[in-house]
Amino acid sequence: MSRVAYVDGQYLPHRSAAVHIEDRGYQFADGVYEVLAVTGGRLVDEESHLIRLAKSLSELRIAAPMSNSALRIVMREAIRRNRVREGILYLQVTRGAARREHAFPKAAQPVLVVTSRHTRRTDPQIAERGIAVVTIPDIRWQRCDIKSIALLPNVLGKQLARDAGAFEAWQVDREGFVTEGTSTNAWIVAADRTVMTRRADTAILNGVTRLAVLEIIARDGYRFVERAFSVAEAKAASEAFLTSTTVDLLPVVRIDDAPVGTGMPGPLARKLREGYLAHVTEAA
Ligand code: PMP
């Protein structure tokens, strides 16, 4: 089956779908994006993603390309035309195409691209074994709360992780506190069973998965605090895990050269993973 992409008003064959060479996304990374999970042909946490998209657009003063109700239709159509049951939907809005000049162009219209494809959920065996992370300096800008398509530090960080044989890199601010992964939010469970994740300040992206897991924590009455933790605290933690739309919740069992807790996925990470997977299934 051939794939279809929505590009600026048209559904095109994915193979030949393209934007203009002077699209500001291409020249300046002047745009924002969202990645949504699709399960049973339905979008997971659609509302939270649309709220975050609106926030990213308004912070960058990019006009919404269409109303949310129209956007919901385009997203469903992209899923339908690509016959996706389990997978992801990628959505990107740039400031549009204009003659190259840094300041905002007067005439450009925002350009929306939507693609959707089948993906497998993360292999449950990976969750069973747990994953390793390495720590790296956070070299990003000071507005990581905006889901901008400017991802070069994240790309370099993920590659460092891969080169080190790790699944993810946890970025560390100048004070020695973990901000987040290159495409995931970071969590630990302290020895007294308190779950910790950084407050959603401008140093991290407020993950939609993060928000869903926070709700599960509140609902199930786990002890919890939203605060930054240091690399030393993470290494001394009894459990650690990470979250994102594409990997759900994965236990972290090694940070750099240090095993976390017993070196095996911990009970709280397992419980929260089950809770989150149930939340995803509810969308289907
Ligand atoms: N942090 C960063 C830097 C990310 O790129 C992502 C994935 N988009 C996340 C966290 C997790 O966000 P979400 O749970 O919305 O996928």
Distance CA 196, CA 199 (A): 9
Best residue for ligand 1 mutational test, from 156, 182, 184 (most atoms within 8 Å of Cβ): 184
Q: What is the CATH number of the domain that holds 26?
A: 3.30.470.10
Cα–Cα distance measured from residue 263 to residue 129, given in angstroms and rounded to the nearest whole number: 9
Mean pLDDT across 222-234: 98
Counted domains in the chain: 2
Give the torsion through C-alpha atoms of 19, 21, 26, 28, to 10 deg: -130
pLDDT at 109: 97
Domain boundary among 118, 138, 173: 118
Per residue in 252-273, pLDDT tens?
Answer: 999 999 999 999 999 999 999 9
141 and 251 together in one domain? yes
pLDDT digits (tens, 9 = 90+) for 97-145: 999 999 999 988 999 999 999 998 889 999 999 999 999 999 999 999 9
- Specify the pTM: 0.97
Let me know whether 110 and 174 are in one domain: no
Instruction: Please tell me whether residues 96 and 148 are part of one structural domain.
Output: no
Last residue of a domain, one of 84, 101, 118: 118
Bridge partners, 7 (sequence order): 10, 113
* Residue having the nearest C-alpha atom to atom 7 of ligand 1: 183
Domain-terminating residue out of 75, 101, 118: 118
- Pocket test of ligand 1: the residue of 122, 148, 185, 249 to mutate, having most ligand atoms within 8 Å of its CB, is 185
From residue 270, alpha-carbon distances to 37, 45, 77, 183 in Å are 21, 21, 35, 21
Tell me, yes or no, whether 108 and 148 share the same domain.
no
In angstroms, the CA 98 to CA 23 distance is 7
The verdict on 146 and 96 lying in the same domain is no
List phi, psi (to 5°) of 76.
-65, -40
97: its two tokens? 């195409």
Residue 216 shares a structural domain with residue 160: yes
Q: Could you read off the pLDDT of 4-27 as tens digits, one per residue? A: 999 999 999 999 999 999 999 999
**∠ at Cα 23 (100, 82), nearest 5°?**
175
Shared domain for 94 and 139, answered yes or no, is: no
Find the domain containing 15 and state its range.
Answer: 4-118
pLDDT higher than threshold 80 for residue 247? yes
